[in-house]
Amino acid sequence: MPGTELFGAEERKEVNDVLETGILFRYGHDVQRNGHWKAKEFEAEVKKITGAKYAHAMSSGSTAVATALAAAGIGAGDEVIVPPFTFIATIEAVLFVGALPVFAEVDETLCLSADGIRKAITTKTKGVCLVHMCGGMADMDSIMQVVNEHKLILVEDAGQAFASSYKGTYTGLFGKAGSYSFDFFKIATAGEGGVLVTNDEDTYNIADCYSDHGHNHIGAKRGMEQHPVLGFNYRIGELNAAVGVAQTRRVPQIREVNRKYKQMLTELLSKTPGIGFATIADPKGDSATFLNILMETPEAALATVNEFNNSGVAGFDYWFLNMYHFINQWDHIKNMQTASKLTVELVGAPQDYNDLQLPKTQNVIGRLISFGIRCTWTEEDVQKLATNISACVRKALKQELV
Ligand SMILES: Cc1ncc(COP(=O)(O)O)c(C=O)c1O
């Protein structure tokens, strides 16, 4: 989480550029801003890393995925296949554009599997909102096969996977549109921020208007711009974008260090019986923000987690019990506790959210323990962590056998 690890002169310089002019708004004020266009620079940095033709910075990863869905043409009454393991923003975005989430199975990549998608397809399926979880990536060859075969619209929520790629293509760029989060807990942070990417000009143009009340940003007078589509305010401010610029420039370096430490941890932990790892569909493209341990059974994982807690081992997530990342705890979706009526309540849910049959997902996420990789670790830190993890696993598995 570099925002908490690396924050210094570069970030201050970019923010000070904005503070000196006082132009906190991303559009217009060409003369007063003294050449500083931080949102545009942030977008340019994202394009440099991902190779995206178009990038559009927004207020959050949540608004970026919502905009990606809308710009891709997904809306009221459309069935959209989603994973039951993701940050809840993905599902909220689908619901709030009026679409109907259909939950499908994930596999050991921690992402939707092609087989899971195939089994969830109905005559009403419009698209897939694929989520690349925990810094990694889905198995894109098999997923693109099913997406193309069934002519589905693919939107990628790469909220946790900025700077990860699969066989040379960056996550977010396989489908119609993709999104990254730059909140405080990501490989790079803007404080709060998100970026939509696409290689499709029309999709970009819609996203650009949609995220700013429909403004098409043509001409010098804001109040006189055309509004080709209805939109809302999902704009990023220049201060957040300024932080995003400095942080995004750090990403290649962060990714390199993360990969080194993840590799070290993986090699050290591989020697401990009972420890396995999630599948990385393309190890060369891993952004390596997490080491994802897969224990042999959910019981072994839970015993290990208890042992971590008893022994003071910190820095891990056991997503199976997490309130925001796993469907088992999403009571507000299951019971449709909504502030006001959504399309899904009007037309009816496509599945019984209280009786979903997702045994593979339950098993994989039950076995998963993720450690965040820190680019400011030393090699000694990594050795020590590996020793502590191994000791806890050995103890937990012995207790489990008794
Ligand atoms: C997969 C995924 N999508 C979307 C988001 C939402 O991003 P933000 O917090 O920037 O709104 C997150 C945040 O954790 C995420 O992990």
Answer yes or no: do 217 and 184 share one domain: yes
Distance 68 CA to ligand 1 centre (A): 13
Tell me what pLDDT residue 400 has: 62
Answer yes or no: do 245 and 255 share one domain: no
Average pLDDT for runs of 10 along the chain of length 402: 86 98 97 97 98 98 98 98 98 98 98 98 98 98 98 98 98 98 97 98 98 96 95 98 98 97 98 97 98 98 97 97 97 96 98 97 98 97 98 89 54
Whether 380 maps to a domain, the answer reads yes
Answer yes or no: do 21 and 114 share one domain: yes
Answer yes or no: do 258 and 140 share one domain: no
Whether 269 maps to a domain, the answer reads yes
Whether 346 maps to a domain, the answer reads no
What CATH number did the domain enclosing 289 receive?
3.90.1150.10
Boundary of a domain, candidates 250, 270, 293: 250
**Atom of ligand 1 lying closest to residue 181 CA:** 10
Domains held by the chain: number: 2
Answer yes or no: do 221 and 122 share one domain: yes
Displacement of CA 242 from its chain's centroid (Å) = 21
Tell me what pLDDT residue 226 has: 94
Q: 214 near 279, Cβ under 8 Å?
A: no
Burial of 161 (0-12, 13-18, 19+ CB in 10 A): buried
Give the domain range for residue 256: 251-322+361-401
Whether 352 maps to a domain, the answer reads no
Distance 63 CA to ligand 1 centre (A): 9
**Atom of ligand 1 lying closest to residue 65 CA:** 4
Whether 334 maps to a domain, the answer reads no
According to DSSP, the residues that pair with 125 across neighbouring strands are 79
Tell me what pLDDT residue 3 has: 73
**Atom of ligand 1 lying closest to residue 183 CA:** 10
Which residues lie with the beta carbon below 6 Å from any ligand 1 atom? 60-62, 65, 86-87, 89-90, 131, 157, 159-160, 181, 183, 194
What CATH number did the domain enclosing 135 receive?
3.40.640.10
d(CA 27, CA 55): 16
Whether 256 maps to a domain, the answer reads yes
Instruction: State the maximum Cα–Cα separation within the chain, in Å, rounded to a whole number.
Output: 75
Q: Which of 42, 46, 58, 62 to mutate to test the pocket of ligand 1 (most atoms within 8 A of CB)?
A: 62
Boundary of a domain, candidates 190, 218, 250: 250
Distance 194 CA to ligand 1 centre (A): 8
Q: Which of 63, 67, 87, 325 to mutate to test the pocket of ligand 1 (most atoms within 8 A of CB)?
A: 87
**Atom of ligand 1 lying closest to residue 158 CA:** 1
**Atom of ligand 1 lying closest to residue 93 CA:** 4
Whether 121 maps to a domain, the answer reads yes
Tell me what pLDDT residue 112 has: 98
Answer yes or no: do 258 and 205 share one domain: no
Whether 354 maps to a domain, the answer reads no
Tell me what pLDDT residue 402 has: 52
Distance 86 CA to ligand 1 centre (A): 9
Distance 335 CA to ligand 1 centre (A): 23
Boundary of a domain, candidates 250, 281, 313: 250
Q: 307 near 316, Cβ under 8 Å?
A: no
